[in-house]
Structure 1
Amino acid sequence: MNFVTPEPHDPRDPLGLASDAPLLDGWLRFRAAVDAGTTMPFTIPGHKQRTHLVGDVVRGDVPLYAGLDTMKQDGGLLVKAEQRAAAAWGVDWCRLSVAGATHANQAAVLALGRPGQDVVITRTLHRSLLLGIVLAGLRPVWVRPELDAATGLPGAVPVAAVEAALAAHPGACGVVLGDPSYIGTRSNITAHAAAAHAAGVPLVVDAAWAAHFGFSPAVPSHALTLGADALITSAHKTLPAWSQAALLLARTRRSGGLLDPDRLERGFDATHTTSPAGAILASTDAARALLQHHGADLIGRLVELVRDARERLAAVQGLAVVTDRPDGHPAGPLHVDPAKLVVLLAGTGAHGHAVEADLLAAGIPLEMADRDVLVPMVTLSDDKHSVTHLVDTLVAAIEKHRGEPRKAAPATAWTVEPATATDPRSAFFARHETVCAATAVGRVSVELIAPYPPGVPVLAPGEVISAAALNALQATLADGGRIAYASDPTLATMQVIAS
């Protein structure tokens, strides 16, 4: 291909990251060649950057093969990018995914054990991990975070709980934790890694919301620095990358870790597309270069923006925000991502869905809203103007809907205790029937059901449908929440193992 080298200050690369991002450089070269008319690909995908049929929606969708690189990968651009990402996180193995942390989580689980083995895993997991367990045929041994009494939100997963689970299940193949949690609370990863390694098994950390960790003194170190064997993170959740951009990073046996690099490769390839989107890959490569070259400044500014927003919101009567509490605090210690803004509404009496509706009307969608909790995502892409506008609009909406203060009620996702009847894989493939919800209590679910967000399962395949779980889900629905992944999101019917 006759690629044209972009100008040094290409507006498509305003910070000049391409010099350290081979996939981004390939994307820029391909786009320049198409724009200049010096290349006319006759390859899949067939739209070939031509917008005369469906418009700009296909512009920029460059494939990896015969796009960023040749069909035969002669340039080795993907390998180079993955090597640079591995070095950036200080490990020996990395793969870039175009199917999100969902795919990376499932690949990691496939690399852990054999069908029928136990795995110690947090109950507040993302659905992708649960379905990874189905794919791998593992048996979950649940550990739960402590509920923070002051906020009703999940705090740290106790190290003692993981140690006890490993002691009770000596054949377990690994420990899998989600850290930080969806609402930014953190566990002691160093101690969890020590507990896992003492039992001879790896620690895998789903850090989907923490791609920025470890690249600035203003935020915590990332899990691999703290002793984890593998880390999954979403480049698109906290970094300026395309949706579905994610990384799976690991310290393997080649460098003293506990994970088999060959199993990781097979697990990754088994569940990944054979037609990876070059634009997603290039954006991940660019985001990695951005972190390495500008992360300290950008993340420091982000933490300052969140700190200022927290201070303004905490000054509003009845309003609270989630922040760190030191050891010895009367309400107990709490460790939180300093770049995460989580707003607690119970003391204002305002309903989160009503506040969210006002924000939507003002053109401000939120990451999450339920009755008592709002999560507006402040990111590296924000500035003082955008955050000030968010806070002003949020405060106005809260004042509009202010009511009698209430006690915060922990969300269903954090409180329902599972009752396991069979392993998730057996239930997933079992013969099933659809029954009225009223008659489902006591039956075994074949489906995963979760309020969304956060998407944490209240019912998983293989679990007994309890009255408490059903009532909690129905209460969430009646309160205006969304029920995700259920075959019937109205909860009039449920799918159970056939009798």
Structure 2
Amino acid sequence: MNTRTAPLPPNRPAAASAATTITTTTDQSYAPYAEALVAHSGRDWLRLNVPGHAAAPGSALTDRFGARVTALDFPPLLDGLDVGPDNPLEQALALAARAWGARRTWFLTNGASQGNQIASMVAPALGRTLVVQRSVHSSVVDGLVLSGLDAVFVQPSVDPEQGIAHGVTAGDVAQALRRAPDAAAVYVVSPSYFGAVADVRAIADAAHAAGVPLIVDEAWGSHFGFHPALPAGALALGADLVTSSTHKLAGSLTQSAMLHLADGPFADRLEPLVDRCFRLVQSTSASALLTASLDLARRALVSGADRITGSVAAADAVRGAVRARGRFGLVCDRFHRFPDVTAADPLRIAVDTRAGGITGHEARQSLSRDHRIMVEVSTDSALVAVFGAGSAPDTERFVDALHRLPSPLTGSDGPSREPLSLPRPGAARLTAREAFLSPSRVVPAAAAVGLISADTLAAYPPGIPNVLPGEVITAETVAFLRRTAAAPGGHVRGAVDPAVSRLRVVAS
């Protein structure tokens, strides 16, 4: 095995000491788990174990997807893959920790949502209240239900014209910490779904000054720090625990992610807690394919500077073309108006479609139906396209299709065509856990106004909760959710029914 030292990515500190890493492998061009998996699948196995397809030829899976998929689909706890000293999985984890500048890294096979749940479950050992950005992903709220923590919410800045939330400032975090003497941790999101990057360094300083760790949901920034054109990663800026949705822009398979622990002042306390909580929520049948894809994504990021340069250039070309043609706007061109936004992810293209006479939902539907182009998400006012780190999409096809979209909003003054404003959250009456576990009843949406929600309700994607369990349901929020559900492709995560005609409330 080659154990030469490879250079670290930009802005990456060295990994932790050997006390937390059982392998000496430092060659980032090596993908130990993925390579061991391929070698294992190439042997002549008679498979009398799970999974039940047994990699047998002629099965429904092999007929549709080919024999390669099932041949690589092994269960955990196999010699030569993840059992024994210095096994390939441990080597892959150590290489990932070094690549991201972490003391320790965990591979997740239930997405960054699993990482957010783990981080929330760890926090009660440090205090009773989580100081948390209100516009976190719904999986963080799920974590509050699991942990039973109280929460002090920090309100993000909101772009009223776009109806989207950005981030929080260090000053707002410090003020919230003063209201929470029993704080366990600070929990923020950076970057946002629309590519807005927060001042993680300043927020980390505010958290540490109060004696608590900073947890960052960096689901959309797993590629950060691997190229000079990209923002620095949260670990390099002082974060203590970071959720990384590696499948989003870093190239691993859907549902694979990582959780990174910094080698900072809280590491000794957090490491055993994170490890135990990881075992609570990680599947005992973790997918070998997902795990291997994380190993390969790490290698591609570390070695892929030239490919990332091409991706950034392609995204810049799209932004330049949109500005030059003048019909649409770019959401990032408004970021300078908000004090909490310090940078933008260059691989995210958020287009203000209403400026061009069409809602984001209608634009997304037309791009898919008429041009066979998929974008990441749409809102009432915008759509978001993402370029994976290292990908080289057909930018001319996207720009041309975008500017061939109809403009049904031109001259329209009907109430259904008015921009959809982001509703303000209702007052919190119970903790998320108290409300979730309380006796509940389902009522018509109009009758739910003024009552306490038993569910998390989030326009999805991006999955930022508009209603939390324990919050009072407002008429403004009901109208927002019902309009979201009625839009083309609209979906409200957690709703009792697709139309949001009924809501689950805490029984009085």
TM over 0.5: yes
- Identify which of 173, 179, 191 aligns with 1:180: 191
Q: 1:40-69 CA distances to partner (integer Å, 9 max, x unpaired)?
A: 232211212224121334535522526684
Equivalences for residues 207-226 of structure 1 within 5 A: 207-226=218-237
Secondary structure of 1:111's partner?
helix
Distance 1:122 1:390, change over 3 A: same
Q: Find the counterpart in structure 2 of residue 48 from structure 1.
A: 54
Q: Find the counterpart in structure 2 of residue 91 from structure 1.
A: 102
Structure 2 counterpart of 1:111, which letter? V
Aligned residues: 473
Structure 2 counterpart of 1:218, which letter? A
Identity %: 31
Distance 1:410 1:336, change over 3 A: farther
Q: Find the counterpart in structure 2 of residue 487 from structure 1.
A: 496
Matched, 1:195 2:206: yes
Q: Find the counterpart in structure 2 of residue 7 from structure 1.
A: none
Q: CA deviation at 1:286?
A: 0.6
Q: Find the counterpart in structure 2 of residue 433 from structure 1.
A: 441
2:34–2:293 Cα contact (<8 Å) kept: yes
Q: CA deviation at 1:316?
A: 2.6
Equivalences for residues 447-458 of structure 1 within 5 A: 447-458=455-466
Q: Find the counterpart in structure 2 of residue 232 from structure 1.
A: 243
Secondary structure of 1:457's partner?
strand
Q: Find the counterpart in structure 2 of residue 5 from structure 1.
A: none
CA distance in 2, matches of 1:172, 1:411: 35
Q: Find the counterpart in structure 1 of residue 470 from structure 2.
A: 462
Q: Find the counterpart in structure 2 of residue 137 from structure 1.
A: 148
CA distance in 2, matches of 1:131, 1:105: 9
- Identify which of 149, 153, 161 aligns with 2:172: 161
1:67–1:278 Cα contact (<8 Å) kept: no
Structure 2 counterpart of 1:363, which letter? R
2:240–2:266 Cα contact (<8 Å) kept: no
CA distance in 1, matches of 2:449, 2:128: 29
CA distance in 2, matches of 1:389, 1:439: 47
Q: Find the counterpart in structure 1 of residue 505 from structure 2.
A: 496
CA distance in 2, matches of 1:284, 1:464: 41
Secondary structure of 2:196's partner?
coil
Q: Find the counterpart in structure 1 of residue 372 from structure 2.
A: 363
Q: Find the counterpart in structure 2 of residue 268 from structure 1.
A: 278
Structure 1 counterpart of 2:123, which letter? L
1:30–1:67 Cα contact (<8 Å) kept: no
Q: Find the counterpart in structure 2 of residue 14 from structure 1.
A: none
CA distance in 2, matches of 1:149, 1:214: 31
Q: CA deviation at 1:334?
A: 5.7
Q: CA deviation at 1:371?
A: 2.5
1:153–1:410 Cα contact (<8 Å) kept: no
Distance 1:70 1:330, change over 3 A: closer
Q: 1:264-316 CA distances to partner (integer Å, 9 max, x unpaired)?
A: 1011111110111011000001100111122x222222111111000111223
Secondary structure of 2:404's partner?
helix
Q: 1:157-194 CA distances to partner (integer Å, 9 max, x unpaired)?
A: 12111101101111010000111001111111000000
Structure 1 counterpart of 2:49, which letter? T
CA distance in 1, matches of 2:408, 2:390: 30
Q: CA deviation at 1:70?
A: 5.3
CA distance in 1, matches of 2:107, 2:340: 39
2:133–2:155 Cα contact (<8 Å) kept: yes
1:318–1:346 Cα contact (<8 Å) kept: no
Q: Find the counterpart in structure 2 of residue 379 from structure 1.
A: 388
Q: CA deviation at 1:110?
A: 1.2
Matched, 1:104 2:115: yes
2:454–2:505 Cα contact (<8 Å) kept: yes
CA distance in 2, matches of 1:116, 1:97: 26
Deviates further, 439-448 or 144-153: 144-153
Structure 1 counterpart of 2:134, which letter? R
CA distance in 2, matches of 1:344, 1:51: 50
Deviates further, 419-428 or 140-149: 140-149
Secondary structure of 1:142's partner?
strand
Distance 1:259 1:186, change over 3 A: farther
1:119–1:172 Cα contact (<8 Å) kept: yes
Q: Find the counterpart in structure 2 of residue 303 from structure 1.
A: 312
Equivalences for residues 251-290 of structure 1 within 5 A: 251-252=262-263, 257=267, 259-290=269-300
Equivalences for residues 414-429 of structure 1 within 5 A: 414-429=422-437
Structure 1 counterpart of 2:46, which letter? M
Q: Find the counterpart in structure 2 of residue 389 from structure 1.
A: 397
Secondary structure of 1:491's partner?
coil
Secondary structure of 2:326's partner?
coil
Secondary structure of 2:499's partner?
coil
CA distance in 2, matches of 1:51, 1:109: 44
Secondary structure of 2:237's partner?
coil
Q: Find the counterpart in structure 1 of residue 8 from structure 2.
A: none
Matched, 1:39 2:45: yes
Equivalences for residues 402-413 of structure 1 within 5 A: 403-404=410-411
- Identify which of 344, 347, 350 aligns with 1:342: 350
2:301–2:389 Cα contact (<8 Å) kept: no
Q: Which runs of 5+ in 1 are unaligned?
A: 1-16
Q: Find the counterpart in structure 2 of residue 8 from structure 1.
A: none
CA distance in 2, matches of 1:235, 1:241: 6
CA distance in 2, matches of 1:433, 1:323: 42
CA distance in 2, matches of 1:173, 1:191: 18
1:372–1:409 Cα contact (<8 Å) kept: no
Q: 1:348-371 CA distances to partner (integer Å, 9 max, x unpaired)?
A: 221222222221122212211122
Q: CA deviation at 1:409?
A: 7.4
1:230–1:249 Cα contact (<8 Å) kept: yes
Structure 2 counterpart of 1:228, which letter? A
Q: Which runs of 5+ in 2 are unaligned?
A: 1-26
Q: 1:321-346 CA distances to partner (integer Å, 9 max, x unpaired)?
A: 1336786x799976311111100012
Matched, 1:30 2:36: no
1:354–1:401 Cα contact (<8 Å) kept: no
2:196–2:341 Cα contact (<8 Å) kept: no
Secondary structure of 2:244's partner?
strand
Deviates further, 461-470 or 344-353: 344-353
